[in-house]
Amino acid sequence: MKDIANFCTSPYYSDFTTPSYGDIINSFECESIFSEILGSYQGDELHFLKDKDGRYGILVFGYGSCSYCDALEGCSSVQDVKDLQESLFGSIEWGTKEETIERINGAEKRNAWTWHETGTKEFYLKILEYLSGVKND
């Protein structure tokens, strides 16, 4: 993982600058296969990733419009951003192609709140479609 502290500075400001969620995702050094942002001033980000070892990852997290309802907006230091980076990375559901398909098709995923949110089910179905075209290793 890249040091997120590099994203917390700006040539235009002398103090701490909050990076974007995109900066944090990019710091994971994974391939972003595709992602969706569901919502406007508040909502969910969904990311389908692949790491250098060939594992697939699904990351789903919510965002808001103020420091009380958005973890990144609430960051006021580099350490806060590093903690968020670790938290987001730790919440990625990693697995092989088969494990990822099984996870999406499993009752736990289909009974989760995320399955019933507008756009989320389509995101998971898009993952299944993508993985159906991937040859087994």
- Mean pLDDT along residues 72-82: 88
Residue 70 lies in a domain: yes
So what's the pLDDT on residue 28? Answer: 94
How many C-beta atoms surround the C-beta of residue 28 within 10 A? 20
In the sheet where 43-50 sits, what is the strand order?
Answer: 31-39, 43-50, 56-63, 93-95
The mean-pLDDT minimum among 38-52, 83-97, 105-119 falls in 105-119
112-115 contacts: CB < 8 A, separation 24 or more? 114/44, 114/60
Number of domains present in the structure of the chain: 1
H helices of the chain, in order, are: 21-26, 78-90, 97-105, 107-110, 113-116, 120-132
Residue 101 lies in a domain: yes
- The residue range of the domain holding 113 is 4-132
Q: pLDDT tens digits, residue range 100-109? A: 999 998 877 7
Residue 44 lies in a domain: yes
Global model pTM greater than 0.85: yes
Residue 137 lies in a domain: no
So what's the pLDDT on residue 36? Answer: 94
Residue 67 lies in a domain: yes
In degrees to the nearest 10, what's the CA dihedral of 106, 134, 118, 68?
90
Contacts with 5 (C-beta within 8 Å, 6 or more apart), sequence order: 78, 81, 82
- Mean pLDDT along residues 1-28: 80
